[in-house]
Amino acid sequence: MSDAKGVLYVVGIGPGAHDHVTPAATRAIADAELVVGYTTYIKLVSELIRGKEIVRTGMTEEIGRARTAVERARDGAKVALISSGDAGVYGMAGLVFQVLRDLGWKRGNSPKLHIIPGVTALSSCASLMGAPLVHDFCAISLSDLLTPWPVITRRIEAAAQADFVIGLYNPASGRRTRQIVEAQSIIRKYRDGATPVALVKSAYRKMQHAVLTDVDHFLDYEIGMLTTVLVGSSNTYVFEGYMVTPRGYTNKYTTEGEVLPGQRPGYSLVLAGSPEPAGRE
């Protein structure tokens, strides 16, 4: 191993459109000598990586990409390992730390590590549909390639029962079709059938396609690996073709901004029959 201090940038490149690659991500890629990534993601940033050494691999080869990036950076190179969305959200950042731990890496050793955040699939899809994530939400991947399906179903059950807005990543593929059907069955136990559901494919990419439907009917549409499914909470509504989850201001204020009887700005919400809260947040 070289004594040179390498740099490893773990970069979230956003949903795909150049307008949504952050300046920090652009600078990291520009500084890198070597760019490592999944073939599709390499294509998304092709204009940013001209003249650089490139390592591209296919699906299911994530461990090899992470090891290549870490080892080359450890030997002194400046390396950018790219993920779509945010590298820390279903991305490569966790795997990088696993490889570093296995190698006995310590802070101060080569490589110097920089995690560069990006716009997630959940937030990019939500922006196309309106404001579905304004209140509490969660993300669940339906891929059982690395997580047991019983664990995933428990998470869906808990999220649906707790009335979260639910973002479903990796909902289906050519060989994996039953999971989204089972997910709908679980969600229907806790959601009215008319609850809004958005299906967004390839947000901000050339094949972008978005559908606004509901819990009862979202399986009537094509759903694949590039689709993100956004399931509304019991409070989510549709307005002028937009999917909106209210934050809860109308629980405390009128639409003119006046405080409702029994409520106090800056204090916890008072429910009918409950004691008044003792102090501010």
Query: What domains can you pick out in the chain, each with its CATH number?
Result: 7-119 (3.40.1010.10), 122-244 (3.30.950.10)
Give tens-digit pLDDT for 60-85.
899 999 999 999 999 999 999 999 99
Place of tokens 């694949």: 224
- Per the listing, tokens 């956003």 go with 14
**Average pLDDT of span 212-223:** 97
CA distance 228 to 5: 39
Model confidence at 280, in pLDDT bands (50, 70, 90)? low
Amino acid 1: pLDDT = 43
Amino acid at position 33, single letter: E
Average pLDDT on 191-214 reads 96
**How sure is the predictor about 49, in pLDDT bands with cuts at 50, 70 and 90?**
very high
Say which amino acid occupies 96.
Answer: V
Question: What 3-state DSSP class applies to 19?
Answer: helix
From CA 28, how far away is CA 247, in angstroms rounded? 36
Task: Flag whether pLDDT at 281 surpasses 80.
Answer: no
User: What is the mean pLDDT of the segment spanning 145-154?
Assistant: 96
Convert the pLDDT of each residue in 10-29 to its tens digit.
999 999 889 999 999 999 99
Do residues 211 and 221 make contact, with C-beta atoms less than 8 angstroms apart?
yes
Pick the more confident residue, 277 or 190: 190
Model confidence, pTM: 0.90
- C-alpha–C-alpha distance, residues 131 and 134, integer Å: 6
